[in-house]
Chains A and B, each alone.
Chain A
Amino acid sequence: MFSFTKEQKVLDIKGVRVGGQPGVNPTLIITGFFFKSKPDRGLAERYIPGLISLSGKLGNPVIPDFFIKREEYVDDVVEIIKEILPGDHPFSVDIVDPAVKVKTLERLHEEDMLSRTIYNSIHVGVTSKEQEALEEYKPEAAIVLCFNPKDNSVDGRIEVLENSAHLNDKGLLDLAKEVGVDKLLLDTAAMSPGENSGAALAAIPVLKEEYGYPVGCAIHNVVEKSTWLKNYDDVYRVVDASSNSAVPLFGGDYVISGPVEYYNTVIPLVAWFDILVSEYTEGYFGVEPSVNHPRRRLLR
């Protein structure tokens, strides 16, 4: 269990609080929609109400992460978010193609939805047009992906934050500052087995101590790439869900938990580990859980 000497930032993203010393705020669960499919209104209608209801019951905040693969999907995804995600609930947009990123920012601006938006993500491949769009259409928060193509060590993650490993003319933190996004969630970039996959977890406490920003990752991606594990059907899904428990254990603040279909398993599982962490950090470090923490919701 960890307590950090660096002051820890707590971000408020439209009422969702993330970050801080381990044991204070419950782990944020960012759960994926449409990663392997076109925008699917039915899927969103089916899962979003249950997701939000379970989050309210256990205390762990949830933010839907909408993957947008192609430009022609942008309008549909924005419509789905507008119509199905209640009120001001925040969401993230997960996009690889820079042109799609720019189009999405424009659309979200037109719909006055940028104040609910987490931009996923800023990384060493950010283009100048994307930077211009980010300056013009500022999202509420951004995930900063600490993937370093030159160095998959924990230090390599720090290097891209500091100077983009010289693949861009400035470090990712300066880049985010320059475009004016100051609510940042650091993603430690989970890599495949054989590529120092454990470094994504080891980097969590290091980055928190170094920078104080909320830190997390999509650790389930490592499970997805563990092809040998797929020979064990019964275990595969268990490991996929339980991999998320490593993030709070390493002092992290959020998990990108994979497809929404498994939220019923992931949210209680993460809540259980949050309680475990909170009991220790309160007893040893005197860190009290927030009012919405699962430990308060479920045990008191």
Chain B
Amino acid sequence: MSKRLMTTVVGSYPVDVDALSLIRSYYESEEVKWGYYIESAVGDMVKAGVDIISDGQTRDSFINIFIRRLEGCRVRARPEIIAPIRYKEGIILDDYKYVKNMITSTTRLKGVITGPYTLAKSCVDYYYYDTEKAAYGFAEALNEEAVRLQGLVDYISVDEPFYSQELPVYSKELLSTLLRGVDKPSVLHVCGDVSGIIPDLLDQPVDMLSHEFKASSFLLDEFKEYWDDSKMICLGVVRADSQVVETVDEIKTHIDKGLNVFGDRLVHVAPDCGLRLLPRKVAFQKLSNMVEAARLV
């Protein structure tokens, strides 16, 4: 069992951005360099012993990272859609190339893409005035990124937190559009209370489901009711919304509960969500304890 249980992250990791040093680069007419922040996030994940890491999503919120680089979108006071959404250039590819050059072959990579529905719901839409059309616009545009990204990573994860609030009837088709031509194992991450949509989640066109089983531990019982072994599971084992660091024993106990429900289909353990909002020391300790607990299982 322990050989198959790997540790991973959901996406974001905290960084302390020094705005003054970024301003100095402006005065020196130097290009803004972000490598330091990627290195700090990736360095922590690797040092904690996480098997499958992300780029840390250090540049921005998980929404703005994508909105800034898609044609037809812009970020002002809020992210906005102002014209047809189209793919124009790599969005996170350069950061993943940077990470790939930093790590050894024993560390694996998870490419994290914010889901089209979440992007559509997070933008002020001045063009489509229609969430479904906007979501398909994002899905088509991000498909190109996903296809290019899979050459750099071992997993493609789609982050759709909005699904826990409302699952659109077209969710399967949307995800299929986004993942068209993607051969790498795919993950759908939905945080929040997904108890009302478990059968739909089990029907999504992905290989693995990832949820916040720690903060919403009742989900274990809810999943038991519908569990059909059709998906692999990434179990959330530490909270992303609390600075209290879970002990190794507590995490191990939680993993055991997950194994009772999912058996050997439980293949990954992770924090409940991105850790961006936690203090860096807390985030690191949570990851370290998670890794140790997974080794004890």
Q: Which secondary structure dominates chain A's binding surface?
A: loop
How far is the CB of B20 from the nearest CB of chain A, in Å?
A: 4
Task: Please state if B60 and A150 are interface contacts (CB–CB under 8 Å).
Answer: yes
**Which of A38-46, A102-110, A163-171, A261-269 lies at the interface with chain B?**
A163-171
How far is the CB of A243 from the nearest CB of chain B, in Å?
A: 15
Task: Please state if A96 and B76 are interface contacts (CB–CB under 8 Å).
Answer: no
Is A158 an interface residue, CB under 8 A from the partner? yes
Q: Contacts A123-B23, A124-B19 hold; do A158 and B61 have CB atoms under 8 A apart?
A: no
Interface string of B19-55 (1 = CB under 8 A from A): 1111111110101100000000000000000000000
Q: Find the residue from A98, A150, A164 having the highest chain B CB count within 10 A.
A: A150
Q: List 25 A-B contacts (CB under 8 A).
A: A96-B23, A96-B27, A123-B23, A124-B19, A125-B19, A125-B20, A125-B24, A127-B20, A147-B23, A147-B26, A149-B19, A150-B59, A150-B68, A151-B75, A155-B74, A155-B76, A156-B68, A162-B76, A166-B61, A167-B22, A171-B77, A189-B26, A191-B26, A191-B29, A221-B29
From the candidates B23, B25, B76, name the one contacting A158 in the complex (CB within 8 A): B76
In the complex, chain B residues 43-97 whose Cβ is within 8 Å of any chain A Cβ: 59-61, 64, 68, 74-77
From the candidates B17, B21, B25, B77, name the one contacting A163 in the complex (CB within 8 A): B77
Q: Find the residue from A155, A156, A168, A221 having the highest chain B CB count within 10 A.
A: A155
- Our count of residue pairs bridging A and B at CB distance below 8 angstroms stands at 64
Is A253 an interface residue, CB under 8 A from the partner? no
Contacts of B20 in A (CB 8 A): 98, 125, 127
By size class, the interface of chain A is 20 to 34
Contacts of A163 in B (CB 8 A): 77
Contacts of A145 in B (CB 8 A): 23, 26
How far is the CB of A143 from the nearest CB of chain B, in Å?
A: 13
Residue of A nearest to B26 (CB): A147
Question: A interface vs B, CB < 8 Å?
Answer: 96, 98, 123-125, 127, 145, 147, 149-151, 153, 155-156, 158-159, 162-168, 171, 189, 191-192, 195, 221, 224-225
Interface pairs A-B: 7 shortest CB-CB: A125-B23, A125-B20, A162-B77, A149-B22, A155-B74, A167-B19, A125-B19
How far is the CB of B117 from the nearest CB of chain A, in Å?
A: 23
A150 to B25, CA, bound (A): 12
Contacts of A125 in B (CB 8 A): 19-24
How far is the CB of A126 from the nearest CB of chain B, in Å?
A: 8
Question: B interface vs A, CB < 8 Å?
Answer: 17, 19-27, 29, 31-32, 59-61, 64, 68, 74-77
A166 to B75, CA, bound (A): 12
How far is the CB of A65 from the nearest CB of chain B, in Å?
A: 14
Q: Contacts A147-B23, A155-B76, A168-B19 hold; do A195 and B68 have CB atoms under 8 A apart?
A: no
A98 to B76, CA, bound (A): 27
How far is the CB of A268 from the nearest CB of chain B, in Å?
A: 28
A156 to B77, CA, bound (A): 9
How far is the CB of B263 from the nearest CB of chain A, in Å?
A: 42
Task: Please state if B22 and A124 are interface contacts (CB–CB under 8 Å).
Answer: yes
A195 to B23, CA, bound (A): 15
Residue of B nearest to A121 (CB): B23
Contacts of A124 in B (CB 8 A): 19, 22-23
Contacts of A158 in B (CB 8 A): 76-77
A149 to B59, CA, bound (A): 10
Contacts of A156 in B (CB 8 A): 68, 75
Task: Please state if A192 and B29 are interface contacts (CB–CB under 8 Å).
Answer: yes
How far is the CB of B74 from the nearest CB of chain A, in Å?
A: 4
Task: Please state if A167 and B76 are interface contacts (CB–CB under 8 Å).
Answer: no
Contacts of B76 in A (CB 8 A): 155, 158-159, 162
